[in-house]
Structure 1
Amino acid sequence: MDWGLNTLLSAGAARLHDDGRITALGSGGQFRAAGVLAKQHRLRRLSEHLHAKADRYGRLIGEDADHSLHARHAVVTCEIRAVSERRSNLNQALARAAARWAVDQAIAAGATVIYLEDLRSMQAGGMGRTMNTRLSQTVRGQIADRVRHLAADAGIAVVTVPARGTSKYCPQCLTPLRHRKAPDRPTTPGWKWAICPDRDGCGWQGDRDHGAWRRIAARGLTHQARTIADRATGQLAIRSIVDKLEARAVITPAAPPNDRADRSKTGPTRPRTTRPAPRRRGAPSPTRPSGPTGKRPEGHAPTDRPRLPRAAHRHQDVTTTSTPTTGHRPRGAALGAGFHLHAHACPPRWETIPDTTSDKGSPS
C-alpha cells in the first residue's frame, strides 16, 4: 500500500516465486476519496479561521472581565468545538472505509502480508508549510491502526517498510524516473505521471502511486528476512535497507501468453493468379423453382419471400374486425399505408347513408 496526497491509497498484489523473481498480479487499484478529502480540508480551513478569530478576541479582551466581546468569544469557542467533532467523525468514517477496502483487496488476492510505508518519513521536503500541514493532518495513522486490526482477524501480517525512494525509482529497473504532469503531456514537469527514461531496456511508465506500491512490495519481499517486531507495541517493521537486497527488489514484467500456433514459413509462397474472380452477376444460376426455397437467382432479385400483394388482398377489408388466423401473420406497417398492427379501416361513409333514390325516377 502506498500513501498518496490526492489519492489516499494505492495498492496492488505481488508474488515472490521460488527462483527469486517478483511479479505483479494485475495493475492494482486506488482508493479515491476526493469528496471526503475536500470536505476535510474545508473543515480544516474553517477550524484555522475560527482559532485565529478566537485568538484575536482573546487579545482584545485581555484582563477585562466585563468586556463586551466575551459573548462573541464564547460563540466562537462553541463553533470550534462543533467543527472539531465533525472533523473527528469524518476522519473515523474515512479510516474505517479505507482500511476495510485495503484488507478486502488483500483477502481477494490471497495475500499473506501487507506492506505499508513508514509514516514517520511522510513529511515532504521542499513542499512548503501548507503542504506539510495537509500531510500531517490526514488520517493515515488511524488507517494503519485499523488495517492492523482487520488484517489480524484475517490472519494477514502487516509490516512497515522505509518509504525512501519508492516514488523516485523505476519498479522494473531502478532507474530514476522522470515525473510529468500527465501521460499526454510528456514534456510538462509535474509529479502525477512517471516515465522511465530507459527506453531500450525497460520503458515503463504509469501513475506515480502505482509505481510506488510496486517498489514497496518488491522491497518488502526481498527484505522479509530483516523483519523485526517492536517490543513495546508488537508491530512488525523493516528498519533499514540493504543495498545488495535492494538491487534485486525489482518487479519482473510477466511475459504475455502466446496461445497462437506457430506460423513460421516452411516453404515457398503459393503463386496467386492475376486474373480476378468473376463477378456475381455474371455467374449463371439455375431456374428458380416454384416453391419458396431454392438457390439464389441471378442478379439482386429478392429470395426471402415473394412480392407482397396489395392491402385489399391481405384480409384488410373495410369490415375486418380482427387479425385473421388463416396462416397469414401481418407485420406492422406492411399491413397497409401507415396502419398499426391492430388498426383497421372504418366502414366507408356510403354504407351508412340511406338510399333516397327510387325506381320511379326523379322526385320532381
Structure 2
Amino acid sequence: MTQLATNAEPEARARLETKIAVLDAHREAVGAKRGRINRELVFHFARQTVDYATAAGAQVIAVEDLTTLETRGHGRVNNNRAAQSARRKAATALAHTAAGVGIAVVSVPARGSSAQCPGCDAPLSRPGGYHTAWCSGCRVGGNRDHVAGVNLAKRALLGKGKVTRRRGQLPAVRVAEHAPVRKSRDKTGPTPSRPRHRRVRRSLPTVTPRLGVTPNRYVPAPEASVWDTVQLAPPHGDAGSRDTRPSPTPATPVADGMRST
C-alpha cells in the first residue's frame, strides 16, 4: 500500500497515507497484545514445570534444542516470527524460574529423540500411526512424546560432564550419547490386573433323575462305634434278660372236694 500511495495522485495519496497510519497503529496494538499473551503463557508453563521438578526432587531440567531441526534459509520474516513465538521464549522463562529454586536447565539435541529406542537406540516403528512408537527388540512402546522425554533425560545425564556455555545462551550438550535405559521398577502406581485361575469346586457330579422315577434320598450310614462289638454283662441276680428268663410256675388249683363246706 505504501508503494501504491507513492505513485498515486495527491488526493488519493492523502487518503492512502491516512489509512496506512491507522493500519500501523492497529498492527502495533496487536503485536503488543500478542507479546503480553506469550509472556503470560511461557511463565505459566515455566512455573508448572518447576513445581513438578521440585516435587520430584530433580536437579536438572532437559530442554530440547529445536534449532537443530530447523532448516536454513527461511528468510528474515519467517525467522522473526519464529523468534517471537512462545516456543522460543519458553526455554528462557523456564531457566529464569528454575534458577530461583536451584535447578539447572540444560539444552540437548532434539534430532532422533522420538524416533529411536531408549534401550537399544534402534529406529522405532509406528504401528498405530504417527503418535505411537514401538520397539520389537526391547518390547517397549507408547506415545512418541513420552519416548522423546526419556531420550532427552538420558542425553542430559550422559552429557553432564561435557556441557558447553556460551554468552546469552543456555548451557548445552552438543553431542548426543547413548546408553541403554532400564525399565523402572518403582512402585508409583496401582498394580495392573492379571488373569487368575478360578478356584474349581471339587464336588460330586450331579445325576439327572430319569423321568417318572422318584429318586431315593441318600441317608448316610451311622458311624461304627466300639460299643457295638462289646456285650454288656447282666446285672447281679439277673440270669438273663427278660426275654430269656423262665416264666414262673402257676399255683396248684384246689380240688373241689377239699373245699370247706
- Normalised by the shorter chain, which TM-score bucket? 0.5 to 0.7
Higher Cα Rg, which structure: 2
- Matching residue's letter, 1:62: T
CA distance in 2, matches of 1:239, 1:141: 18
**Greater strand percent: which structure?**
1
Alignment check: 8 A CA contact 2:159 2:175 kept = no
Report how far residue 275 of structure 1 moved: 3.6
CA distance in 2, matches of 1:253, 1:134: 41
| Equivalent position of 1:228 in the other structure | 164
Q: Which runs of 5+ in 1 are unaligned?
A: 1-56, 126-130, 181-185, 260-269, 277-281, 283-364
CA distance in 2, matches of 1:116, 1:148: 10
- Matching residue's letter, 1:121: T
Give every structure 1 segment of 4 or more consecutive aligned residues whose post-TM-superposition deviation is greater than 3 Å: 63-66, 131-137, 270-273
Q: Tell me the alpha carbon deviations over residues 215-262 of structure 1, each in whole angstroms, 9 at most, x when there is no partner.
A: 0001111222212333x3474221223xxxx331x33112477x9xxx
| Equivalent position of 1:254 in the other structure | 184
Secondary structure at the residue paired with 1:224? coil
Query: Is 1:240 the equivalent of 2:200?
Result: no
In angstroms, what is the RMSD of aligned CA positions?
3.4
Which of 141, 148, 158 is 1:212 aligned to?
Answer: 148
Query: Is 1:154 the equivalent of 2:101?
Result: yes
Secondary structure at the residue paired with 1:167? coil
Report how far residue 135 of structure 1 moved: 5.7
Q: Tell me the alpha carbon deviations over residues 138-190 of structure 1, each in whole angstroms, 9 at most, x when there is no partner.
A: 2123211111111111111111111121111022332212246xxxxx3xxx5
CA distance in 2, matches of 1:137, 1:207: 29
CA distance in 1, matches of 2:105, 2:150: 16
CA distance in 1, matches of 2:20, 2:202: 95
Which of 198, 203, 226 is 2:139 aligned to?
Answer: 203
Report how far residue 109 of structure 1 moved: 0.5
CA distance in 1, matches of 2:71, 2:149: 18
Query: Is 1:140 the equivalent of 2:79?
Result: no
Taking a change above 3 Å as real, the CA distance of residues 193 and 124 of structure 1, as seen in their structure-2 partners, is farther
Which of 43, 63, 71 is 1:96 aligned to?
Answer: 43
Taking a change above 3 Å as real, the CA distance of residues 160 and 193 of structure 1, as seen in their structure-2 partners, is same
CA distance in 2, matches of 1:169, 1:120: 19
Aligned length: 191
- 1:36-115 maps to which residues of 2 (within 5 A)? 57-62=1-6, 66=11, 67=13, 68-115=15-62
The sequence identity of aligned pairs, in percent, is: 34
| Equivalent position of 1:44 in the other structure | none
CA distance in 2, matches of 1:224, 1:77: 48
CA distance in 2, matches of 1:113, 1:173: 24
Taking a change above 3 Å as real, the CA distance of residues 234 and 247 of structure 1, as seen in their structure-2 partners, is closer
CA distance in 1, matches of 2:18, 2:201: 100
Report how far residue 205 of structure 1 moved: 2.1
Secondary structure at the residue paired with 2:100? helix
CA distance in 1, matches of 2:152, 2:81: 23
- 1:150-189 maps to which residues of 2 (within 5 A)? 150-179=97-126, 186=128
| Equivalent position of 1:359 in the other structure | none
Secondary structure at the residue paired with 1:225? coil
Report how far residue 94 of structure 1 moved: 0.7
Q: Which runs of 5+ in 2 are unaligned?
A: 73-77, 192-199, 207-216, 218-261
Query: Is 1:118 the equivalent of 2:65?
Result: yes
CA distance in 1, matches of 2:20, 2:112: 48
Taking a change above 3 Å as real, the CA distance of residues 112 and 162 of structure 1, as seen in their structure-2 partners, is same
Secondary structure at the residue paired with 1:61? helix
